[in-house]
Chain A
Amino acid sequence: SYELTQPLSVSVALGQTARITCGGNNIGSENVHWYQQKPGQAPVLVIYRDSNRPSGIPERFSGSNSGNTATLTISRAQAGDEADYYCQVWDSSTVVFGGGTKVTVL
């Protein structure tokens, strides 16, 4: 079965750029979606189909996908961006989530 690998944690200084990776075999040929989950809250879609932002998501959130790695980039990180982030793909009519990355803003 398809597996997605994310780093357990990423730290970023306030105002700097955080990059969260999602690794998978030839993931560049898949559509990757990203979710943000704050403690005690439901996940929120922040990027869909690699690089598209839903309405209401700040432009500071961007995504890319190529080769074996998809990346969620958070520019000008704010304290409110502290959360767990999950990548997700469809694979053979099933859905796969990455293990999640905890982002800490220092």
Chain B
Amino acid sequence: QVTLRESGPALVKPTQTLTLTCTFSGFSLSTSGMCVTWIRQPPGKALEWLALIDWDDDKYYSTSLKTRLTISKDTSKNQVVLTMTNMDPVDTATYSCARASPGSAFDIWGQGTMVTVSS
């Protein structure tokens, strides 16, 4: 059974750096074709894709956010970490990770973690 779970702070202050961890099970990110991606959703708004890392350590970022994002993986721990710098209240959202394959769909999602940016 494939599962993903997001963890991180529920509250961050403006200008701080957010660090989120996606811990997964049921698949290996060292397997060819496997990827993990991050998506966020502000309250009441649409899904927004953030970043993706693949089994070969290739990384892909949202064009509008790429200067603020870093994605990395620890294959031995089955974890993917996303950092987002210079947080702002508009970054308040539920942040989710999902399993993916390059060019394909996000077939399994975590439940997401709500992050509020406020002083």
Where the two chains meet, the residues of A that have a C-beta atom closer than 8 Å to any C-beta of B are: 1, 31, 33, 35, 37, 42-45, 48-49, 54, 86, 88, 90, 93-100
The interface residues of chain B lying within 8 Å CB-to-CB of A33 are: 104-106
Q: Size class of B's contact patch?
A: 20 to 34
The interface residues of chain B lying within 8 Å CB-to-CB of A1 are: 63
Q: Known contacts being A45-B105, A49-B105, A95-B37, is A86 close to B46, with CB within 8 Å?
A: yes
- As a 0/1 sequence over residues 35 to 49 of chain B, the CB contacts with chain A under 8 angstroms (1 = contact) are 001010000001111
Q: Which of B63-119 contact A (CB under 8 A)?
A: 63, 96, 102-107, 109-112
The interface residues of chain A lying within 8 Å CB-to-CB of B106 are: 33, 35, 43, 45, 88
* A89 nearest CB neighbor, chain B only: B103
Question: Is the beta-carbon distance between A90 and B103 smaller than 8 angstroms?
Answer: yes
Question: Is the beta-carbon distance between B46 and A97 smaller than 8 angstroms?
Answer: yes
* B47 nearest CB neighbor, chain A only: A97
Tell me the minimal C-beta distance from B63 to chain A in angstroms: 6
The interface residues of chain B lying within 8 Å CB-to-CB of A45 are: 105-107
CB pairs A–B below 8 angstroms (15 shown): A31-B104, A33-B104, A33-B106, A43-B47, A43-B96, A43-B106, A45-B105, A48-B105, A86-B46, A88-B105, A90-B102, A94-B61, A95-B62, A97-B39, A99-B46
